[in-house]
């Protein structure tokens, strides 16, 4: 897996966490359980730093997808896109495709072969 793809996956994990903290119901539930969620700004700084390391065009694609999907980048499993479960064409699994991120033609999510 390329470094930029790894960065994007880490960014997605972080975005999911930030989204949870910003969600009032979730953060209230966590606070009621005793957790102190005081470091949102630290997460946002980490997010900015991580995003700046991702190539701009790739970041734009990801961010557009992330507006619609919680999971915008994900691995291929059993020759299917795990986002929309559509079966992927065999061309998806050619040797060149194993390095580059690909797009699911059905849902548009970014896919990689693990």
Partner 1 sequence: MEASKLISFFEEDLCIFHLRSRKKISALTEIVHHLALQKRISDERFILDMLKNRENLGSTGLGNGVAFPHGRSLAIKELTVLFARSAAGVDFEALDGKPTHVFFLILAPSDKGSETYLAILSELIGLIQKPAKLKALNETVDFPSLVGIFEGKDD
Binding mask 77-96 for Zn ion (x = CB under 5 A): ----x-xx------------
For residues 12 and 70, give the distance between their C-alpha atoms in angstroms, rounded to a whole number: 8
Does residue 63 touch partner 1 according to CB under 8 A? Answer: no
Does residue 37 touch partner 1 according to CB under 8 A? Answer: yes
Asked whether 71 and 12 are in contact (CB, 8 A), the reply is yes
Q: In what order do the strands lie in the sheet with 80-81?
A: 80-81, 73-77, 110-112, 102-103
Nearest residue (CB) to partner 1, 21 versus 58:
21
For residues 52 and 72, give the distance between their C-alpha atoms in angstroms, rounded to a whole number: 18
Question: Binding residues for partner 1, per CB under 8 A?
Answer: 6, 9-10, 12-14, 16-17, 20-21, 23, 26, 29-30, 33-40, 42-43, 46, 70-71, 73-75, 82, 114
């Amino acid at each position: 897996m390329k470094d930029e793809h790894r960065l994007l996956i880490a960014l997605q994990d972080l975005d999911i966490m930030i989204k949870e903290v910003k969600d009032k119901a979730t953060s209230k539930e966590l606070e009621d359980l005793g957790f102190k969620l005081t470091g949102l700004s630290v997460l946002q700084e980490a997010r900015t730093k991580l995003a700046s390391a991702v190539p701009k065009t790739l970041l734009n694609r990801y961010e557009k997808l992330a507006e619609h999907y919680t999971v915008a980048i994900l691995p291929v499993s059993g020759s299917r896109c795990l986002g929309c479960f559509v079966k992927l064409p065999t061309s998806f699994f050619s040797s060149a495709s194993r390095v580059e991120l690909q797009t699911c033609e059905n849902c548009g999510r970014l896919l990689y072969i693990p």
